[in-house]
């Protein structure tokens, strides 16, 4: 018989991290812990990770929903279908079930990645901040071997951001360094096309979410007119059902989509977006969303099953002072899985 409990864990950033939604110093995650009464020493663990201001969940009801899931874990298939408004809990439940099926060894998806044979290439994330701070991050990432960087833009003066891009391109051509930028919806529909025209001078790979989600007509027009490839990110949040996903992509016709399982309905929701994008030949990549190493492990293993040639937007487990030690390892811009490194699961031992 399957039983469940959950715990809350507040992750502490090593340094305050700037986003378009403010500066982050901590981030909460909840962990669903499943066990079979016949094998109580085997635990399946899944992370339910939210980002305030971005995740669609009703946070006032979040823990009561988790408790409901724990109390009705014997109806897990029903639960998975009824958690559409709590996509992070969907993802946590899906991955906890996969983990317990794997006898708790955290091997959720069999692939060459988990067998330590093939790494996943990732982009380096540059956090928002003043010019000197961003340039310092960029230099460090390039020195560490990254050939694809993602810059958050939209929080400081646009001219200053252009100056940063100009400085980068003065030293590194697009043949050497691929640049992605993420506006997190910071541009107005009226100013967006002008800014996209200016940004296109810097040989950028793409821009994520130039305007806020939900403005389908305006976004469709931008995708049609923009000289710079547009990737949908926040636009995918809250869209459920394969038909609705197909309709959105057909209407907007983006150049790329970006999948964050914790925000779009977990594995099932991501699979639907991949199916819908495939029918329209829209490329995609998968991105983590500030999860701990429990969630990052699940997302990385899931991403590895697709052999996607694009750099993935995966974290590295290095953001937090109190993360969970695990086999994930970063070598340059290659995320690897080192089976010789063991998980430290002491956090999940019952007190």
Domains 2-106 and 120-347 share a fold: no
- The domain spans of the chain are 2-106, 120-347
Fold of 2-106: Enolase-like; domain 1 (3.30.390)
Give pTM, 2 decimals.
0.95
- Under CATH, which number does the domain 120-347 receive? 3.20.20.120
**Active-site positions?**
152, 260
Do the beta carbons of residue 222 and residue 52 sit within 8 Å? no
Segments in 60-130 forming alpha helices (H): 62-71, 76-81, 87-101
pLDDT tens, residue order, the chain (351 aa): 899 999 999 999 987 666 656 677 899 999 999 998 888 889 999 999 999 888 999 999 999 999 999 999 999 888 988 899 999 999 999 999 999 999 999 999 999 999 888 999 999 999 877 888 888 999 999 999 999 999 988 878 899 999 999 999 999 999 999 999 999 999 999 999 999 999 999 999 999 999 999 999 999 999 999 999 999 999 999 999 999 999 999 999 999 999 999 999 999 999 999 999 999 999 999 999 999 999 999 999 999 999 999 999 998 778 899 999 999 999 999 999 998 999 999 999 875
Six-digit token string for 136: 């310092």
Order of strands, edge to edge, in the sheet holding 206-208? 124-126, 148-152, 178-182, 206-208, 230-232, 256-259, 284-286
């Amino acid at each position: 018989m399957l039983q469940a409990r959950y715990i809350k864990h507040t992750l502490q950033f090593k340094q305050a991290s700037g986003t378009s939604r403010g500066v982050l110093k901590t981030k909460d995650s909840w962990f669903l812990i499943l066990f079979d009464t016949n094998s109580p020493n085997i635990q399946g663990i899944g992370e339910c990770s939210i980002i305030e201001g971005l995740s669609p969940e009703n946070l006032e009801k979040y823990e009561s929903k988790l408790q409901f899931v724990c109390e009705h874990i014997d109806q897990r298939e029903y639960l998975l279908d009824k958690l559409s408004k709590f996509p992070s809990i969907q993802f946590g439940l899906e991955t906890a079930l996969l983990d317990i099926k794997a006898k708790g060894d955290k091997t959720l998806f069999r692939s060459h990645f988990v067998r330590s044979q093939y790494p996943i290439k990732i982009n380096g994330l540059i956090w928002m901040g003043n010019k000197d701070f961003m340039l310092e991050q960029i230099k460090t990432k390039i020195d560490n071997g990254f050939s694809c960087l993602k810059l958050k833009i939209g929080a400081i003066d646009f001219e200053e951001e252009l100056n940063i891009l100009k400085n980068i391109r003065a030293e590194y051509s697009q043949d050497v360094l691929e640049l992605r930028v993420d506006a997190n919806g910071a541009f107005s529909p009226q100013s967006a096309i002008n800014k996209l025209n200016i940004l296109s001078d810097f040989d950028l790979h793409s821009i994520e979410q130039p305007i806020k989600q939900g403005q389908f007509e305006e976004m469709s027009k931008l995708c049609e007119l923009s000289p710079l490839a547009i990737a949908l990110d926040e636009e995918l949040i809250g869209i459920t059902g394969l038909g609705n996903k197909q309709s959105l992509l057909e209407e907007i016709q983006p150049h790329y989509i970006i999948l964050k399982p914790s925000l779009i309905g977990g594995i099932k929701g991501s699979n639907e977006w991949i199916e819908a994008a495939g029918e329209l030949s829209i490329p995609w990549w998968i991105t983590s969303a500030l999860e701990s190493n429990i969630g990052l492990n699940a997302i990385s293993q899931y991403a590895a099953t697709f052999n996607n040639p694009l750099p993935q937007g995966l974290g590295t487990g290095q953001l937090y002072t109190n993360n969970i030690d695990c086999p994930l390892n970063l070598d340059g811009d290659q995320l690897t899985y080192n089976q010789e490194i063991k998980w430290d699961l002491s956090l999940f031992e019952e007190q």
